[in-house]
Chains A and B, each alone.
Chain A
Amino acid sequence: MPDAANFTIDPLIEPRPESASGDRTMVLNMGPQHPSTHGVLRLVLEIDGETVLRLVPDIGFLHTGIEKTCEAKFYQQVVPLTDRIDYLSPMSNNLCYCLAVEKLLELEIPPRAQYLRVLLNELTRIQSHLVWLGTHAMDIGALTVFLYTFREREEILKIFEHVSGQRMMGSYFRIGGLALEPPLDLFDRVRKLLDMMPERIDEYQNLLTGNPIWVNRLKGVGYLSAADAVAFGVTGPPLRASGVDWDLRRDMPYSGYEKFQFKVPVSQDGDVWARYQLRMEEMRESVKICRQALEGMPSGPIKADAPKIVLPDREKMKTEMESLIHHFKIVTEGFAVPAGQVYQAIESPRGEMGYFVVSDGTSKPYRVHMRNPTFASLQALETMCAGRLLADVVAVIGSIDIVLGEIDR
């Protein structure tokens, strides 16, 4: 073990100037139990009056060592763990991990499974943005919106429950496809939701966009330039709100996204208002993608043709010797994945989510690393807040849509 002698333990911020003079700055602790830090984010701020001079995030309160846990599980057993990283977009995590392992295995995924994955991912995006909108508005004082957004979110969670049996931690994705054929009335339910959604998004915008308090709290706040956004590794809606036209779904398509037509909203303003407008537009685009997925939904299998990796059908398992053997082998021993390393990234609701999976040829991953969008975005927080008022920090945190589960892992 290298000794830690070079690394001194110090308080995060010392107030300036050091001596007790009259114009000494104040160090303020915010969190980890602050309601607007969306979980357990601790910020240490140096303030001069109400102006923020410095801001240091202190994270790790939710660290559970998921990456270490993954190394002790079979490949398929990692999927439920990925649900719990970003608990607001479990399906995106599932997809990203499965795509990474499928890349190692060089598996071909049938089109129906791809379309269903896209459909569920876009519903996840809408659902995640609804939580963001509700909590963001609540942080700023618009309590009503929360009740409206959670009404629609509940509908989406009911669809997830219908599909996977769970509202949130569905673990519905399998390496090589999906767990089950979705229930017969799923598409009707999704269609009903999609018919209602544009109208509901208008409703949220009616509540907020014209509201002078909302406008004043958001416009011009938390400015982030395009160069800073790229330098700090910011991805997703905050990056696009700073004027960088980059969306992995369009620019480096995965899981069949190249077959879908959608716009990528971009704004040049780089402030909290731009991020708000952009996410609202993104929800409308997601509705369109879901519609296309329903219209073009191919028929066919939902699992890849790989009997040594994908669990056989229950009926076949009970009647055919071969399937029974495969089932027994997969459940007890897992399946070996050829040695190698891959990095697979997808556009999660918060930005670039990447899984780096290293295999040593056995049935357990040698290393799984998650690149999470808000972990990087958090580094830009000081740039966005320095020189602004203390109350704006709350608006800026809301606008980068942090989820501490994925930051701390």
Chain B
Amino acid sequence: MESAQDKDSVLAAHAENRAVAALMARHPQAIAGAGFAHRELTLWIARQAIREVCRTLRSAGYNFLADVTCVDRYPVEPRLQVTYHLLSHSLKERLRLCVLLDTRDPAVDSITPVWPAANFYEREVWDLFGVRFDGHPNPRRIMLPEEWEGHPLRKDYPVEGYR
């Protein structure tokens, strides 16, 4: 969706940014990509590092988890883009983190140990996209009935449902 930008140049342009500085100091290998558009900074994070990255960012001042959602980029692989929106009350800044997952094993560490607020959001992403969150305290569907088949917000799920 977002045109690929050169990671190093974006990171260099935002070296002053608290999030970028904290991540470059603690987990430089966790940043898989970076983008800056519409005055919003996006960081692509390696999937195994997301919980540690969130912990680092929380101590760097990004104290509030605003949202967790997902985008299905079907048929591009890796197709599922789990998207986190963080907010810093003290810096008055937002930050977007993205983790890419493929169809064979759509699983990522839950960030509920860092922000309990992620609980409902991750259940919603599991319910509507079929992304598993390892370590989630209550990994159940939230919107749809427990016996529902499929994950409706995936692009290969027809708008009118399976007949």
Contacts and interface: CB of A to CB of B under 8 A. Distances in A.
A9 B146 contact: yes
Interface stretch (A63-71, A86-94, A119-127): A63-71
Interface in A44-89: 59-60, 63, 65, 67-69, 71-72
Nearest to A233: B117
B139 A376 contact: no
B117 A231 contact: yes
Interface string A346-362: 00000010101011100
Interface stretch (B6-14, B25-33, B37-45, B47-55): B37-45
Interface string B108-152: 000000011101110000101010100000011111111101111
A273 B126 CA distance: 36
A339 B71 CA distance: 14
Contacts of B3: 339-340
B51 to A, nearest CB: 15
Main secondary structure of the interface of B (DSSP, over half): loop
Interface string A216-254: 000000000000001111000000000010100001100
Contacts of B142: 59-60
Contacts of A69: 159
A103 interface: yes
B62 to A, nearest CB: 11
A343 B40 CA distance: 8
A233 B96 CA distance: 16
A233 B71 CA distance: 21
A233 B115 contact: yes
Interface residues of A, number: 47
A348 to B, nearest CB: 13
B65 interface: yes
Contacts of A72: 159
A331 B44 CA distance: 37
A340 B67 contact: no
Secondary structure of the A contact surface, majority rule: mixed
A2 B2 contact: no
Contacts, number: 115
A366 interface: yes
B96 A343 contact: yes
A379 B1 contact: no
Given A232-B117, A378-B120, A65 B67 contact: no
Given A67-B153, A103-B38, A352-B66, A379 B132 contact: no
Contacts of A71: 159
B159 to A, nearest CB: 5
A233 B65 contact: yes
Given A2-B106, A341-B1, A371-B85, A7 B140 contact: yes
A297 interface: no
Interface of A: 1-2, 6-7, 9, 59-60, 63, 65, 67-69, 71-72, 103-104, 106, 230-233, 244, 246, 251-252, 339-343, 345, 352, 354, 356, 358-360, 366-367, 369, 371, 375-376, 378-379, 408-409
Given A106-B38, A341-B2, 20 more contacts: A9-B140, A59-B143, A60-B142, A60-B143, A63-B144, A72-B159, A103-B38, A232-B117, A233-B66, A252-B94, A339-B1, A340-B3, A341-B96, A343-B40, A343-B96, A356-B83, A358-B71, A367-B71, A375-B120, A376-B121
Interface of B: 1-3, 37-38, 40, 42, 63-67, 69, 71-72, 83, 85, 89, 92, 94, 96, 106, 115-117, 119-121, 126, 128, 130, 132, 139-147, 149-153, 157, 159
